[in-house]
């Protein structure tokens, strides 16, 4: 198990408290949380869904997030539950693990922990029928193993250099990959799915009323079928929030999510469909 230390979490709201994660305390609460989860499942007219996905920004890389998790600070969401809006509603449930790969930084693990919470339905502004939610680091996309930044840059290489998928794989291996053989974690089929993800994101962005690019760039986007400009904007974007100084596709995806309503309006992610938006 990694030594998880010295991680600082951005304060999403001024009133959110950040109790330190303690494994002993967590064990003491496990039966109470389990009872609460079972009670919620038995008394609510809902499906057993995967957790509601909620993006959160960290000042650290995925590797630092992974290595420092054990002593990190964890938000308690006591001021507002992201699912129902209730006060003192959401309970920390623990975490589940997932694979996370970022060839750009040479990071790859099969057990990245994702924080998970239980909604006790104390509020009256429920945004979906889920009873749990999880905090997904902004570098990741729902149900995909590769980092968003890597996927976007890989497709940018293909588009901007007019490469075939086979040739793009070779270029990615040479210029974007700091891990082993690129064929160990991507193939032509996965690249095709990423390529389909870009126009889907473009369509979502153009249909939303968000002010994230210059008027000139927006007009250019309206008058083109070429996705190269959109990819260029994604890669060069800097977050509009001074409290979240991140750049690139991660920043663009986060700004879009926030400006289109975030959890308050159960907004869709720009890239990848979270569980709350799947049939």
Query: For residue 72, is it within any domain?
Result: yes
Q: What is the pLDDT along the chain (279 residues), one digit of tens a residue?
A: 333 333 323 222 222 333 344 444 444 443 444 444 444 444 444 445 666 776 666 667 899 889 988 888 888 899 999 999 999 999 998 999 999 999 999 999 999 999 999 999 999 989 888 899 998 888 999 889 999 999 999 999 999 999 999 999 999 999 999 999 999 999 999 999 999 999 999 999 999 988 889 899 999 998 877 789 999 999 999 887 766 668 899 999 989 998 998 888 888 899 988 888 776
31 and 122 together in one domain: yes
Same-domain check for residues 128 and 173: no
Residues 154, 264 within the same domain:
yes
Domain boundary among 137, 167, 199: 137
The residue from 118, 137, 156 where one domain ends is: 137
Q: Of 137, 168, 198, which marks where a domain is finished?
A: 137
Same domain, 170 and 101: no
Angle between helices 188-207 and 215-222 (to 10 degrees): 120
Whether residue 258 sits in one domain with residue 180: yes
Q: Which domain holds residue 44?
A: 23-137
pTM of the model: 0.78
For residues 128 and 59, state if they share a domain.
yes
One domain, residues 152 and 132: no
| One-character DSSP codes across 25-75 | HHHHHHHHHHHHHHHHHHHS----PPPEEEEE-BSS-HHHHHHTGGG-B--
SS3 category, 9: strand
For the chain, how many structural domains are there in total? Answer: 2
Query: Per this entry, what is the length of the chain?
Result: 279
Do 160 and 259 fall within a single domain?
yes
Q: Are residues 118 and 162 in the same domain?
A: no
9 within a domain of the structure (yes/no)? no
Computed over its alpha carbons, how large is the radius of gyration of the chain?
20
């Amino acid at each position: 198990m990694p030594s998880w230390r010295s991680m600082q979490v951005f304060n999403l709201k001024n009133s959110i408290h950040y109790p330190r994660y303690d494994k002993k305390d967590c064990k003491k609460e496990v039966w109470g949380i389990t009872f609460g989860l079972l009670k919620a499942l038995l008394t609510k007219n809902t499906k057993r869904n995967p957790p509601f996905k909620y993006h959160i920004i960290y000042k650290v890389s995925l590797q630092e997030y992974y290595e420092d998790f054990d002593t990190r600070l964890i938000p308690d969401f006591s001021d507002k539950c992201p699912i129902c809006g209730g006060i003192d509603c959401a309970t920390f449930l623990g975490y589940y693990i997932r694979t996370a790969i970022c060839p750009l930084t040479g990071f790859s693990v099969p057990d990245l922990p994702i924080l998970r919470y239980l909604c006790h339905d104390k509020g009256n502004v429920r945004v979906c029928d889920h009873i749990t939610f999880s905090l997904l680091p902004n570098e990741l996309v729902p149900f995909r193993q590769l980092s968003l930044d890597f996927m976007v840059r890989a497709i940018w290489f293909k588009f901007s250099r007019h490469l075939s998928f086979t040739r793009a794989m070779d270029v990615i291996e040479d210029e974007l990959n700091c891990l082993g053989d690129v064929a160990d974690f991507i193939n032509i089929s996965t690249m095709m799915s990423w390529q389909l993800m870009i126009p889907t994101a473009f369509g979502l962005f153009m249909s939303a009323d968000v002010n994230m690019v210059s008027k000139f760039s927006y007009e250019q986007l309206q008058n083109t079928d070429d996705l190269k400009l959109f990819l260029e904007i994604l890669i060069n974007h800097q977050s509009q929030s001074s409290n979240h100084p991140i750049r690139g596709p991660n920043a663009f995806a986060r700004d879009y999510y926030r400006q289109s309503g975030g959890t308050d309006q159960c907004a869709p992610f720009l890239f990848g469909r979270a569980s709350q938006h799947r049939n």
